A and B are shown apart, each in its own frame.
Chain A
Amino acid sequence: MRVQLIALATIVRKEVTRFFRIWTQALVPAVITTTLYFVIFGNLIGRRIGEMEGFAYIDFIVPGLILMSVITASYTNVSSSFFSAKFQDFIEEILVSPTTNMVIIVGYVTGGVARGLCVGVLVTLVSLLFTELRVHNFMVLASTVFLTAVLFSLAGMINGIYARTFDDIALAPTFILTPLTYLGGVFYSIRLLPDFWQGVSLANPILYMINAFRHGFLGVSDISLWSSYALIFGAIVFLAWFCLHLLNRGHGIRT
């Protein structure tokens, strides 16, 4: 047990050191992008839009923008880090050691969560330049952002396990993650949509996370809180099991 705890601490330290070493790539771009969102959608266009669900438009989009940056940062951190370790073969450093597959997963996911939360805090600080944040329920807010970061770190790890080229790392964020996030209610309430598209939107898992997070800030949500938690927990359990299954089979890392 002590061996595994030291191994876990080592992976986490290595991962955190890695993204702080490349902070200009890992932390700054998310801050710049969301600042542009705040300026353009929050201030310039937002003033003309008026209120959404009874809140100023910038207040409505802030939770979604924070969570969007957390999702992207968590996902890309683990997918790129794990794939780099595979690509340069230094994943073998861990594979030859007694470190268990579960510890490998927890270590990489913790690294992804750490980067996601760092980016989330930075984006939140930037948002304070544009609006005053209110917190309706801190526990909901904190648990949602943490669990979402865990979920997308696991998803990033699966991407990293399957990836064979650097292009494979970019595919999922470009063609799956970004569209789902944009259509996940960051910029609008799904109540504005026709019934059919409201139904379609309910199939988007990111909608549940953004709404739960918005509930933590504003106390309003298109989705019931418990549905959101159930979906996030269910997805985490499934992805964690799948990730462990892939590593136990040696998929992409053992011949």
Chain B
Amino acid sequence: MTVALAISGLQKTYANGFRALKGIDLEVRQGDFFALLGPNGAGKSTVIRILCSLTAKTAGSVRIFGADIDRNFPLAKSFIGVAPQEFNASLFETPMQVVLNQAGYYGIRRPVAAARAEEDFARLGLWDKRNEQCRTLSGGMKRRLMIARALVHRPRILILDEPTAGLDVELRRLMWRFMTDINRRGTTLILTTHYLEEAESLCRSIAIIHRGELVVNTATRELLGRVDLETLVLELAAPLDQLPPSRFRLRRVDATTLEVDVRRETLLNAVFAELEQSAIRVIGMRNKTSRLESLFMGLVQGNEDSTRAAAAALSAAAGD
């Protein structure tokens, strides 16, 4: 399988001494739907900004479809499209002007760009607004315009920085369908998001960055396989005053809601059989948190714990 993006030993230290990236190694395969996750300030945006030349790296190498950004940046740039989280087009231009200009910067002639813009505007529900000034667009429309702009040169890798943040459910679903569709057509997608269920359901590979270091980089399925304990929320048909004796870890949230912790190997039938014996009828069930969210919190928390432990050890050593 062709490697779309190969990052090796990527480091970034800002002028004030802050080390945003401490040596990232990462590979994204062609055609992958890849999630780049991490808490705020983890270094995700720094990686993206280095890929599209908005930030200069301190050390390491980046190859995009084999093109090294130090040796052949114009070619490497032509492979990438970026839809940033924040709107960064002129507010006084129309969506059509924004997209046509972007195409021009990539050397695409206007008739070709106009045909592509029409196609993408129609798919993204922006057609009616194509000739309105950008300042009149809603937040969701601006977000979709960023995607249309990123796509106009038909990049082989599309980077979407939190494309669904702040969108309503309907728009979010439209974006999911759109992303899945362009990925099926062969575009490699790299997605950053804070909605972990989004990454869990859409992405085939996941990397997690924390404090400038890569803590996870694996297939989504493999990652979710590591989740051992899940909490299920059970909605009851009738109010329950007191918890029945149980071999499972049951908790009463309120009169008609229970929570139960189940291990991966536990048969849910056994849980329900026991509830049945106690004449408790369940009319609904859901996961308390997404599996990925549990894992993500564990990894980030674990990383912080180990950092704190290391700091404590250093302090102790200094005290000695």
Contact = CB atoms under 8 A, between A and B. Distances in A.
B105 A93 contact: yes
Contacts of A11: 104-105
B55 A93 contact: no
A92 B108 contact: no
Contact of A99 (B89, B91, B97, B105): B105
Contacts of A97: 77, 102, 105-106, 153
B104 A254 contact: no
Interface string A1-21: 011111101110110011001
B20 to A, nearest CB: 10
Contacts of A195: none
B104 A90 contact: no
Interface string A85-105: 100111011111111100000
A186 to B, nearest CB: 34
A219 B63 CA distance: 61
B105 A7 contact: yes
Interface string A243-255: 0000000100011
A10 B101 contact: yes
Interface stretch (B78-86, B214-222, B233-241, B299-307): B78-86
Contacts of B74: 3, 98, 100
Contacts of B107: 2-7, 98
A3 B102 contact: no
Contacts of B104: 6-7, 9-11, 13
Nearest to B46: A255
Interface in B80-119: 80, 82, 84, 86, 88-92, 97-98, 100-102, 104-109
Given A2-B107, A10-B101, A96 B55 contact: no
Category for how many chain B residues contact A: 20 to 34
Contacts of B53: 95-96, 254
B5 to A, nearest CB: 15
A84 B101 CA distance: 16
B169 interface: no
Nearest to B105: A97
A98 B88 contact: no
Interface residues of A, number: 31
B54 interface: yes
A146 to B, nearest CB: 25
A101 to B, nearest CB: 11
Contact of B106 (A3, A18, A84, A254): A3
Contacts of B84: 92
Of the candidates A3, A93, A96, the one having the most CB atoms from chain B within 10 angstroms of its own CB is: A96
A102 B101 CA distance: 18
B313 interface: no
B52 A96 contact: yes
A255 B49 contact: yes
A89 B89 CA distance: 7
Given A88-B91, A255-B49, A96 B77 contact: yes
Contacts of A254: 53-56
B14 interface: yes
Top 7 A-B pairs, shortest CB-CB distance? A10-B104, A3-B107, A97-B105, A98-B74, A89-B88, A96-B52, A6-B107
Given A93-B102, A97-B153, 12 more contacts: A3-B74, A6-B104, A10-B104, A18-B92, A85-B90, A90-B88, A90-B89, A92-B88, A95-B52, A100-B74, A254-B54, A254-B56
20 contacts: A2-B107, A7-B105, A7-B106, A9-B104, A10-B101, A14-B101, A17-B97, A84-B90, A88-B91, A92-B84, A92-B88, A93-B105, A93-B149, A96-B77, A96-B80, A96-B82, A98-B105, A98-B106, A254-B54, A255-B49
